[in-house]
Amino acid sequence: MKKNITLLLIACFSVFYANAQVNLKSFKNNGTTVVSNKKELVLTWPAGESAVGKMILNLDNAKPLFTSLQFGKKGALKEIATNLDPAFVLRVGKRTLSPSSGGWDVFFDRVPTRPYTTNLVKFEKGATSVSTQGAQTIVKIASVSAETFKGALEITLYNGSPLFNVAAVVATAKDSTAILYDAGLVNKKEVWANVAWSDVKGNILKDKGVKTDASKNLEVKYRTVIGENNGGSLALFPAPHQYFYPLDEAFNLKFTWKGSNYLNLIPDFGIGIRQDPVGDKRFVPWFNAPPHTAQRLNFFCLLSTGKADAALTAVKKFTHNDSYAVLPGYKTMASHFHNEFISDVVLSGKPIPEKPEFVDVLKKAGLNIVKLAEFHGPGHPKGPDSIRLKELDALFTQTKRLSDPNFLLLPGEEANNFYGGHWLAFFPKPVYWIMSRNNDKPFETNDPKYGKVYRINDKAEMLKLLEKEKGLAWTAHARTKASTGYPDKYKDEDFFKSETFMGAAWKAIPADLSLPTLSKRVLNLMDDMANWGLKKHVISEADIFTITEQNEMYAHLNVNYLQMDKVPNYADGWQPVLDVMRKGKFFVSSGEVLIPTFSINGKGAGETLKLDQAGKANVSMQLNWTFPMSFVEIVSGDGQKVYRDKINLNTTQAFGKKDFKWPVNLKGRKWVRVEAWDIATNGAFTQMVWLE
């Protein structure tokens, strides 16, 4: 009898599976349950704190995809939204791929100045599968298409959180392609009772959901727009850094939208995210879309049983309220800001504010140390002497005035003379120097007003100055912008081999939505420099201009966590900052992933480890994260090749902290470092451990 019942159940399941046309072969029990019934797919997942999320999908092309989204305690679920469809708009343009501009690493491109198309992504429900990857459950529905791009829709649920991701994953065979995308959820029948968002000052604003309201672009803080109903709220937002391709300015370009008939392409009422195709109207490179790469046009949704403000509070936790979290034993440092406060305000005749807006913005971002890059355009680095020295004196006076015990504002410049390409100079105290020297002037003089003054004539004297004043230099935006080809072109020069030349700076240039990480450009350079046999380090750089409360600052920022117990006093100089950088005692982070501890066989970043003959080692590190983690990669090299050991972390859940230890064979290797990335491509990376 028992055997007959089993056979009957198998037969029933086979019929049920055939009717459902949903492939469940790759689905495994991870706490999420999946029930398929004809054209309906029901997923229930553990959403943290004894709550569950429930998603009912309709696979009939004539019906909205999201029949129901529910959240709450088991047995008491609240319906947050019904009858929603995903919607995507794909802009397709032409990439400039000149080798002289960096090829796919190009920044100096103006895609929207050339013809491009704006396309509604077509979604036709077809073959459907459900698969499991650790604590993640992925629903894949074919197919989506736009212009030459084709692919499938993917919905990813994350155990432990009411978070899910919706993505149109598409690829093209066409070369030299750049893209942008807008996306969102549209209501086929009902509309939201209210649509809410935070203005740039942090105030919650709400509009009634009215189906006849024309679409409107919203200037928001925290990149989030929220649909609110009686049962709760749904917050919709992009990956906090990946979605924002590199620009010179961090202007708030109204990155969300709400309403009907968006772009005259999406007739239904919706809420979503968007990009302004003309960007900051300077250099606008869009996203890279190399041939046959799976571009993830994606957004996140977070369910809440509360009102819109509760949903936004939950979203803000993923980015520590758009600030860099305090980490004991570390101080946060950001570099490369062309704010031009000295030229545009202090020396312009304008009133000098006691508390400039840009300082307040940087403090609120959780930054302890900020290195400026003034005089990038309006300054006079080569003189005349009287103007140059006046500019430097104003810079030193103001940075000292605006520093305090927990915030150190440091003078700095993007020197861009003598060495080739663009590079930054950084001294541990105020130094008066002029980037030119007439033959009748000596290298060093004593000025009655400013004291010691240096005049630099060539790269040899530049190196001499850095050595004498214990300064550091590094390549800015290496291998792109005006540093295309650098530091490769001067890797054999004495100044580059010197201890005064720290290495290079990292920023997410270019942007590519097919990568599980942010940009690899400088990370690849980091490995190359180590394989050249040089002990160099890589810090992060912001490389942006204006800094205002209105701007979308966090998306364009990154940070260095320096191993320091306190912020130096400006008056005493900031040699400890340069010492930490020179020794590699720091890690770089986008903010969401932190590495409080890291060692290999007891040796930390910047230190040298002597391996035994077998080359066996153990990587030990602690990770803190907000979004669920994706993977860790142990990267090493032997002087010629680069090796990568990838460790999958897809069993992690949101908001975790854990000590990890992994064995690794490093026989024959000369260096090793570690990267850690989450599901939203936020990440952190260590500096090198050198091997003997």
Digit-coded pLDDT (tens) for 142-165: 999 999 999 999 999 999 999 999
Report whether 201 contacts 549 (CB < 8 A).
yes
Amino acid 101: pLDDT: 87
Both tokens assigned to 607 = 């230190």
Any bridge partners for residue 551, and if so which? none
Mean pLDDT of 308-312: 98
Whether residue 42 is contained in a domain is answered as no
The alpha-helical segments, DSSP class H, found in 473-558 are 494-497, 521-531, 553-556
Mean pLDDT of 178-187: 98
Both tokens assigned to 554 = 């966090």
Domain residues for the domain of 660 are 592-691
Instruction: Report pLDDT digits (tens) over 90-147.
Output: 999 999 898 888 999 999 999 999 999 999 999 999 999 999 999 999 999 999 999 9
In b/e form, how buried is each residue of 508-542, taking b as 16+ CB within 10 angstroms?
bbbbbbbbebbbbbbbebbbbbbbeeebbbbbbbb
- In this structure, the answer to whether residues 307 and 339 fall within a common structural domain is no
**Distance of alpha carbon 339 from alpha carbon 378, whole angstroms:** 11
332, 321, 335, 247: which is closest to 539 by C-alpha?
335
Q: What is the sign of the dihedral through the CA atoms of 131, 136, 137 and 139?
A: negative
**Distance of alpha carbon 445 from alpha carbon 449, whole angstroms:** 12
**Distance of alpha carbon 528 from alpha carbon 450, whole angstroms:** 42
Whether residue 481 is contained in a domain is answered as yes
Any idea what DSSP says for residue 121?
P
Phi then psi dihedrals of residue 113, to 5 deg: -80, -10
- Among residues 300, 318, 336, which one ends one of the domains? 318
Residue 21 has pLDDT above 90, yes or no: no
17, containing H or E segment? helix 2-20
- In this structure, the answer to whether residues 669 and 579 fall within a common structural domain is no
- In this structure, the answer to whether residues 578 and 628 fall within a common structural domain is no
SS3 for 452? strand
The residue to which tokens 């046309």 are assigned: 21
464, containing H or E segment? helix 459-468
Q: Give percent of the chain above pLDDT 70.
A: 97
Amino acid 469: pLDDT: 98
Whether residue 54 is contained in a domain is answered as no
Amino acid 204: pLDDT: 98
Residues 6+ apart with CB under 8 A from 520: none
From residue 504, alpha-carbon distances to 94, 488, 494 in Å are 29, 11, 16
Amino acid identity of residue 401, one-letter, is R
The residue to which tokens 């649909």 are assigned: 227
- In this structure, the answer to whether residues 450 and 570 fall within a common structural domain is yes
CATH for 549:
3.20.20.140
Any idea what DSSP says for residue 579?
H
CATH for 255:
2.70.98
**Distance of alpha carbon 573 from alpha carbon 265, whole angstroms:** 58
- Among residues 561, 591, 621, which one ends one of the domains? 591
Both tokens assigned to 204 = 């919650």
Whether residue 327 is contained in a domain is answered as yes
Amino acid 1: pLDDT: 43
- In this structure, the answer to whether residues 597 and 586 fall within a common structural domain is no
Longest CA–CA separation in the chain, Å: 107
Report whether 690 contacts 671 (CB < 8 A).
yes
Mean pLDDT of 445-465: 97
Whether residue 179 is contained in a domain is answered as yes
Phi then psi dihedrals of residue 397, to 5 deg: -65, -45
Instruction: Report pLDDT digits (tens) over 599-649.
Output: 999 999 999 999 999 999 999 999 999 999 999 999 999 999 999 999 999
Q: How far apart are the first and last CA of the chain?
A: 69
- Among residues 273, 303, 318, which one ends one of the domains? 318
Phi then psi dihedrals of residue 263, to 5 deg: 55, 20
Whether residue 68 is contained in a domain is answered as no
425, 422, 582: which is closest to 499 by C-alpha?
582
Whether residue 48 is contained in a domain is answered as no
Amino acid 190: pLDDT: 86
**Distance of alpha carbon 328 from alpha carbon 566, whole angstroms:** 10
Judging by beta carbons within 10 Å of its beta carbon (0-12, 13-18, 19+), is residue 563 exposed, middle or buried?
A: middle
Q: How many CB atoms lie within 10 A of CB 638?
A: 15
355, 359, 365, 366 alpha-carbon torsion, rounded to 10°: -90
- In this structure, the answer to whether residues 237 and 353 fall within a common structural domain is no
Instruction: Report pLDDT digits (tens) over 347-374.
Output: 999 999 999 999 999 999 999 999 999 9
Any bridge partners for residue 374, and if so which? 413
- In this structure, the answer to whether residues 458 and 522 fall within a common structural domain is yes
CATH for 604:
2.60.40.770
- In this structure, the answer to whether residues 93 and 170 fall within a common structural domain is yes
Amino acid 498: pLDDT: 98
- In this structure, the answer to whether residues 518 and 616 fall within a common structural domain is no
Give the 3-state secondary structure percentages of the chain, helix then strand then coil, rounded to 5.
15, 40, 40
Report whether 431 contacts 491 (CB < 8 A).
no
Looking at the 3D structure of the chain, how many domains does it have? 3
687, 354, 409: which is closest to 568 by C-alpha?
409
Tell me the average pLDDT of the chain: 95
- In this structure, the answer to whether residues 170 and 141 fall within a common structural domain is yes
Whether residue 545 is contained in a domain is answered as yes
- In this structure, the answer to whether residues 388 and 462 fall within a common structural domain is yes
Q: Rounded to an integer, what is the distance from CA 242 to the centroid of its chain?
A: 5
- In this structure, the answer to whether residues 292 and 437 fall within a common structural domain is no
Residue 38: which pLDDT band, with cuts at 50, 70 and 90? confident
Instruction: Report pLDDT digits (tens) over 670-679.
Output: 999 999 999 9
